Amino acid sequence: MLNLFSAQIDTLTLHRVGNQHRGEALFLSDQPAALNDELSALLKEYFFKPFREKEENYYCFTHEAALEFHPIYEAARQFFEKPDRLVEVSREIARHLYAQSKHPHIKSGECYVVYLRDVLVDNQKTDALGIFKSEIKQDFLQFKERDSDLEMQIKQGVNLNRLDKGCLILNREAEAGFKVLSVDSNRYDAKYWIEEFLGLAPLTDENFYTKNYLKFCQNFAKEVVLPAEDKQQEVLFMNRAVNHFAKNDDFEESKFLNEVLENPELIPEFKHYKTEKGPKYSIEDVSNFPIANKAVSDTRKKMKNVIDLDTNIQIKLNFINPESAEKFVEKGWDEERQMYYYLVYFNREQKA
């Protein structure tokens, strides 16, 4: 789990990277940028905000031959060995970014390479190398007093509420390609940032497998459980699935299927669905892995435990214990009205 609350900017270098296709230049700074407390605080919020808002999807550097041939990995490795070489390393990073900026859609912008201290990862402090890029400029008004009038001037600048692109290279698991987080607000050129510049691949750790297996279960619930049974059973299946993950430290697929799939006829359906759709989630050959509690919590927060009815009524099944829904909610068929109904049992209405 990443915590950036105590993280501090130690040193920052700033370069301007143009688009080669349009004949724009590369401008490299020779010295670190001058920072004061006010500017550091603003830049920390600018750099870190997208990572606090985004789900943690870790990547690692990868190369078809060997990591030593990966330019950003090598730059990060050299930096963590000698942090005082930030300017030299950052210039190499900016040159590599410029070399990848050839497509006409890629925007020019400022490249910030930042040495970060006291980043908390799983409650342990570590250093990090941040690479950020600002691309989109916005118009804003400045006002200047001139004699007896107040004059308006249109300027252009970077909106500090919106980071265009960024990555955090954490000084963890260097031999495996480091642990890396990436954000990209401009989806039209995501391949350029993730693949061509950073050269990242998803980090297949417990967080990756927990998150992807639960996403796979959500699709199974929607595409198999719902058509075979009903919306209530779809919701209950996902409640049981998430609760199974929440109460276990390790995932074992046969145990999961026996506990979560109450209808045994759905077990072969699940196995067939995994054979067909598993590659999409990179879980086709995975049946055992450690469970990441953070990924379970994130999935639970996003679950929609709501049954939407065509009579403009919603039933929300907000149960940590899925047996409660089966005990207190019944589904039936009314012959006279020729309609389905839900019967809900309760002792008293909860006050808001």
Q: Which residue has the higher pLDDT, 343 or 283?
A: 283
Q: Tell how strand 109-121 and strand 250-252 pair up.
A: unpaired
Q: Are 3 and 120 in contact (CB under 8 A)?
A: yes
324, with CB counted inside 10 A (0-12, 13-18, 19+), is: middle
Q: What is the mean pLDDT of the chain?
A: 90
- pLDDT, one tens digit per residue, over 188-212 is 676 889 999 999 999 888 989 999 9
User: Do 179 and 121 form a contact (C-beta atoms < 8 A)?
Assistant: yes
| CA-closest candidate to residue 213, choices 122, 307, 292 | 292
How is the chain split into domains, by residue range? 2-203, 207-344
Kindly state the helix (H) or strand (E) to which residue 121 belongs, with its residue range.
strand 109-121
In sequence order, which residues have a C-beta less than 8 Å from that of residue 352 and are 6 or more positions away? none
| Position 313 pLDDT exceeds 90 | no
How much is the average pLDDT of 241-249?
93
Q: What angle do CA 330, 331, 334 make, to 5 degrees?
A: 125
Long-range contacts of 156-163 (CB under 8 A, 24+ apart): 158/110, 158/134, 160/42, 160/43, 160/45, 160/46, 161/46, 161/49, 162/136, 163/46, 163/47, 163/49, 163/50, 163/132, 163/134
Strand partners, 59: 180, 202
More confident residue, 290 or 236: 290
Question: Residue 324 pLDDT > 70, yes or no?
Answer: no
The helix (H) or strand (E) run that includes residue 12 is strand 8-17
Nearest CA to 253 out of 264, 262, 241 is that of 241
Tell me if 170 sits within 8 A of 4, measured CB to CB. Answer: no
What pLDDT digit, counting tens, does each position of 14-66 carry?
Answer: 999 999 888 899 999 999 999 999 999 999 999 999 998 887 789 999 998 99
Prediction pTM value: 0.79
Paired tokens of 148: 């007896």
Please report, as a single letter, which amino acid is at residue 224: V
